[in-house]
Structure 1
Amino acid sequence: MSSCLPARIVRHAAHHPDAPALFWHGNTTGYGELTAMAGRAATWIAAHHGGAAAPGPGSGERPRPLALVAKKSPEAVAVVLACLLLRRPLLIASADLGAEALSALLVSAGATRLPAPAELTASPGEGAPPVPSAPYPATGDPDDIALLLTTSGSTGIPKIAPVTFGALDRFTAWAAGHFGLDARTTVLNHAPLNFDLCLFDIWTTLGSGGCAALVDQDLAVNPAHLEGILRARPVHVVQGVPLLHALLARTAAGGDASHLAPVRHVLITGDAISGPAFAALPPLFPRARFHNVYGCTETNDSFVHEIDPQDPMPHGALPLGRPVAGTRAWIRTEDGGVLHGPGRGELVVRTPFQTPGYLGAAPAVSPFVPHPQDQDGGPCYRTGDLVRRHPDGTLTLEGRRDFVVKVRGVRVNTAEVEAALCAHDGIEEAAVLALPDDEAGKVLHAVVRRAPAATLDSLTLRHYLGQRLPRAALPRTVRWSGEPLPRTSTGKLDRTALTDVLGPGPSVPRAPAAVGAPAARLSADIRRISQGTGD
């Protein structure tokens, strides 16, 4: 057990109990305090759920998963650590799931919900006997399930992707070495606790003896909250979706970016970033190296590319880079073959960190397929992402396979239309939705946010797109917004929210309206934009 993640954290706590492990709302949680909270939670779990790794060795059964439904906090992190120490599989579920969706998810996982983290980690009352040490197992199978993560699918119940202890150990070891994490490193954690980015932000950091600076999920889009964290504690590594980097740019809008100066690594992940959005970053992070990190929940990080700030997008998009150590990748053509030269197809990967398969209900068609030349190495994962291999061998992301629709019988990738929109200097961000239409089958609708001070109108935009896209790919309507488009909790465009309110039907030109206001006004604002098509 000497090299496994929870053991490394406990060992660091034993030697450096006062070292900072977590930074939260201006307060520091030391490693000693973190492991003490985890110990209290582990003792409660062992008492109420059958002990470490229940039902125990030799039973022939895997232990029943537990479920944590809570927003991020030091106490929640301690509960996850407790389950890792006990080697009990833990489903980390979003606290924002509706009651029916959460119930269905727990049934699918066969998981028992734990009490609130504050209850599990509470200190004993005055005069209470000391909390006994939890019976942590000394050894374990690396194929045992450590965590159950949920995918960010847009329809139905999220799929459950198990992460084994072996995968967790291999990933945290690789990531710490690649980005130079150690006991002197502080990493900003912006993602929710149930998101796979936490495997780096929190668990690689703690496994390296560093400090994770936690962003409150309820304040994740508040620039003042982010700035407060970065000014209170120097941060050395920042990983996040493009939304986070836009928010950090906003914190420096007044000209003082001193709170970003200590950052030495900036990781962009989770979604594509536009050229103008990236161009704003190098001046903010004068000492940083920039990385494009590609991966998904099922495989974790698969490709990494160090970005050249002088030529960030040599082919119009950030390159995916090289496969991480131990990763195999190939491009699948439409007929199921392998693309060997330049061209476009679906990216298929196998990493040392990937899930062994879904838990519970699985998709009708499995995305796990054998490698065409290396079937002994285990299954590969069809990512659903369309990539292009350029003549010089560079790979760039071109959209999703499931974003391909037919408009009047012509295949159109809505991601390519979005990319064309975002390439215009006057556009900050855009979403393109394919909605049902009785005559055309599908009709494209665009929702666009102008860049500050831009004077772009619908007529000019249509002429611009007409020079770059086939006729079938031109949106029928363009709707304008003066505010950011709605996003999910992980920073991706909330296409469901936009689709629900736009709906099919004719558009009536009206004045531009706002999208992406604070949560309390979001529904009303989206409905207002659904009534306007622009200039």
Structure 2
Amino acid sequence: MGALASDISRTPLLSAVLAEAAHRDPGRVAVGTPSGATNYRQLAEIAGRVQSAIVQLGVRHGDRVAIIGAPVTEHTIAAIHGVLAAGAIWVPIDPGSPPARWASIVAMADPAAVVAYAGALDLFTAVAPNIPAVVIDKPAKKLLDEVPATGKRIWLGDIGPAELRPHGGDQADIAYILPTSGTTGVPKGVALSHQAGLAFADWMVSQFAVSADDVVAAHAPLHFDMSVFSLFGTARAGASIVPVPLQLSSFPAELADWIANQRISVWFSVPYPLIRLARLGVDGLLQVRNTLRTVLFGGEVFAHEQLAVLMRALPDTQFANLFGPTETNACTAEVLTEIPSEPVPIGRATAGAHCWVEDHQGRVLTADGSVGELVVAGPTVASGYWGQMEAGAGGFRVGPELWAGRGFATGDWVEIYSGRRFLYRGRRDHMVKINGQRLELGEVESVIAELREVRGCCVLPLGGHEDPRLGAVIASEALGEEDIREHCRARLPRWAVPARIVLVEELPLGSTGKLDRLAAATLFT
């Protein structure tokens, strides 16, 4: 039996992207991993088996399916396409998060099934024992036999050849839910439609001329919104995707060798690995210059001094700064035409978005130099937060006056720059980005406040753009620093655990009785 349905969907749905690529370029390499290359037909075959497996588990249109995305292989990538082809909604699970956070995501999304490698599934089962599962690799017999009576496990290897049959639907249907930080300590789920994901992916392919000749480095983990481009943009263009080994980000010489050996032509990541590469200088990056034609970065600020060093070492490479929260995909972009000598703007509206700036009263600002909140409307904007999809919830806006009918007030403070561009000035709330991951400081504070011995706490960003980390000022005499870190490690991602902790008798307060965060910040100097 073939891997593709004969009546391949031509509707603009993410669920059809892989089937169309396999029909168009079946022999082209889709994914390159240490175990070998997988072409588009083979990737579609794996996705078809995943689709068949989750349907056997009872998954139906609109159900959520969790995927634990590590390691990033042809199987985890195919699993995402298989879930979407079944008409289900993909919910990525960060494999590095503690089980308590997995439990919060399960409670939020209520998945009907989970797809994972056996090792991760063993941990997941302890959190959610009754969720049916597809096991990617060959599991121990115990994993399949000793499961709760209400659960079911299917090994993907037991699923015979199955045709990938993209499910029909509407562009407005939710395609995936990306968990993000919430002020209450419970993750919010950003619900993005097929239209939103595909509008972003298609814009990336068009703007940066991605073609079947390109090899795209997949640096972003699958639970990070940056991965949407590498997952769907590459398939849309017929390009190849190569996952970046996690350990290489901290070893620039080895990373440069890897880029050269893999013939990487397009790179998209947070600044951290690029800052490391810049330290190699011109001589250390000579082997990269012949292959790396485009470098895209986003997620957090790339200090212009460090960016300038990298651009001098790669004079023929195109560089671009992409900006946007998870709720909007990338909404602005700045293609650099010269080596920067000052902070790099986040650019102008992209991907069909309409961007404008509002002051504290919601009045639109237009003059150059004005500073206010960035608001975005357009096809890439999310539909809302899962479980809170009503109009106006959480900064979302809907209405016929908005481009594509929906918008989002980002909470990002920007300055109107020359040429209808924007310059990032910071957050209007207490949202920060650590290693490219967006985090509500209130989420960490809520977790710390769970400890009965804590009378109050204040979490602050430390370290600047090159080494972002968190510090916590905590009012408690009964706890030690390690007690607090151990509590946080059990409930937060590793990168969200405070690196520095200051214990005080009382938190500093201002004249109104509110927490004085500026005074708290001085305790770290």
Normalised TM-score (structure 1): 0.70
Q: Please give the secondary structure, in 2, of the residue aligned with 1:282.
A: helix
Pairing 1:140–2:169 present: yes
Q: How far apart are residue 270 of structure 1 and its match?
A: 0.8
In the alignment, which residue of structure 2 is the partner of 1:360? 387
1:388 equivalent in alignment to 2:415:
yes
Paired with 2:269 and 2:309, the residues of 1 have a C-alpha distance of 15
Cα distance in structure 1, aligned partners of 2:289 and 2:239: 18
1:91 partner letter:
V
1:130/1:395 CA distance change after superposition, 3 Å? closer
Distance 1:85 1:103 in 2: 26
User: Per the alignment, in what secondary structure is the counterpart of residue 283 of structure 1?
Assistant: helix
- For 1:44, the equivalent position in structure 2 comes to 53
| Residues in 2 aligned to 1:146 and 1:333: alpha-carbon distance in whole angstroms | 33
State the one-letter code of the partner of 1:366: G
Cα 1:29–1:154 change in 2 (3 A) is: farther
Seen in structure 2, the aligned counterparts of structure 1 residues 40 and 250 have a Cα distance that, compared at 3 Å, is: farther
SS of corresponding position for 1:281: helix
Residue in 2 aligned with 1:288?
317
Say which of 7, 13, 19 aligns to 2:28: 19
C-alpha separation between the residues in 2 aligned to 1:377 and 1:7? Answer: 22
Counterpart of 1:331 in structure 2 is: 357
C-alpha contact (below 8 Å) 2:378/2:403 kept by paired residues:
no
SS at match of 1:29: strand
Partner of 1:347: 374
After TM superposition, give the deviation of residue 44 of structure 1 in Å: 1.0
Deviates more, 1:216-225 or 1:267-276: 216-225
Q: Is the 2:270–2:297 contact (alpha carbons within 8 Å) kept by the matching residues of 1?
A: yes
Contact 1:349 1:383 in 2 (8 A): yes
Q: Could you say if the C-alpha distance between residues 444 and 86 of structure 1 is closer, same or farther in structure 2, counting changes exceeding 3 Å?
A: closer
Contact 1:230/1:260, CA 8 A, preserved across alignment: no
Deviates more, 1:321-330 or 1:207-216: 321-330
Q: Determine which structure has greater relative contact order: mean sequence separation of CA pairs < 8 Å that are 6+ residues apart, divided by chain length.
A: 2
Partner of 1:103: 103
Q: Using a 3 Å threshold, how does the CA distance of structure 1 residues 216 and 158 change in structure 2: closer, same or farther?
A: farther
Match of 1:158 in 2: 187
Cα deviation, residue 496, structure 1: 4.7
Pairs within 5 Å for 1:306-325? 306-310=335-339, 312=340, 316-325=342-351
Is it true that 1:195 corresponds to 2:195 in the alignment?
A: no
Deviation at 1:442, TM superposition (A): 8.4
* Contact kept? 2:275, 2:306, Cα under 8 Å: yes
Out of 34, 41, 44, the position equivalent to 1:32 is 41
Change (3 A) 1:224 1:73: farther
Q: Who is 1:266 aligned against?
A: 295
Quote the offset at 1:202 in angstroms. Answer: 2.6
Q: TM-score, normalised by structure 2?
A: 0.71
CA distance in 1, matches of 2:460, 2:50: 51
The equivalent residue for 1:399 is 426
Kept after mapping to 2: 8 A contact 1:87/1:137: yes
Q: Say if 1:370 and 1:380, in contact at 8 Å, map to a contact too.
A: yes
1:19 Cα offset (Å) = 1.5
1:112 aligns with 112
Report the CA distance between 1:290 and its aligned residue: 1.2
- Counterpart residue type for residue 223 of structure 2: N
Distance 2:219 2:248 in 1: 10
Name 1:177's counterpart in structure 2: 206
Q: Is the 8 A contact 2:46 2:78 kept in 1?
A: yes
Matched, 1:213 2:214: no
- Please report the RMSD computed on the Cα atoms of aligned residues, expressed in angstroms: 3.9
> 1: CA distance between counterparts of 2:466 and 2:411?
30
2:4 aligns with none
Q: 1:23 is paired with a residue of what secondary structure?
A: strand
* Inter-CA distance 129–533: structure 2 relative to 1 (3 Å threshold): closer
| 1:465-476 matched pairs, under 5 angstroms | none
Q: Distance in 1 between the 2:233 and 2:343 partners?
A: 29
The one-letter code of the counterpart of 2:54 is: I
The answer (yes or no) to whether the contact 1:187–1:205 under 8 Å persists in 2 is yes
| Letter matched to residue 498 of structure 1 | A
Post-superposition offset of 1:248 = 2.4
Partner of 1:460: none
Query: Would the aligned equivalents of 2:45 and 2:162 in 1 still touch at CA under 8 Å?
Result: no
Give distance in 2, aligned partners of 1:115 and 1:300.
25
CA deviation string 1:210-240 (max 9, x = no partner): 0111013355434355234312211111111
Which is further off, 68-77 or 221-230? 221-230
Question: What is the 5 A alignment of 1:87-98?
Answer: 87-98=87-98
Q: Specify the alignment match of 1:238 in structure 2.
A: 267
Equivalent position SS for 2:26: coil
Q: What is the deviation of 1:269?
A: 0.7
Letter in 2 for 1:180: A
Per-residue deviation, 1:355: 1.0
Q: Is the 8 A contact 2:87 2:167 kept in 1?
A: no
Instruction: Return the letter of the residue paired with 1:170.
Output: A
Query: Which residue in 1 is equivalent to 2:67?
Result: 68
Distance in 1 separating the partners of 2:327 and 2:367: 27
Q: SS state of the match for residue 54, structure 2? A: helix
Q: 1:158 to 1:228 in 2, by over 3 A?
A: farther
Contact 2:375 2:410 in 1 (8 A): yes
Counterpart residue type for residue 320 of structure 2: H
Whole-Å separation in 2 of the counterparts to 1:231 and 1:374: 48
Identity across the alignment (%) = 25
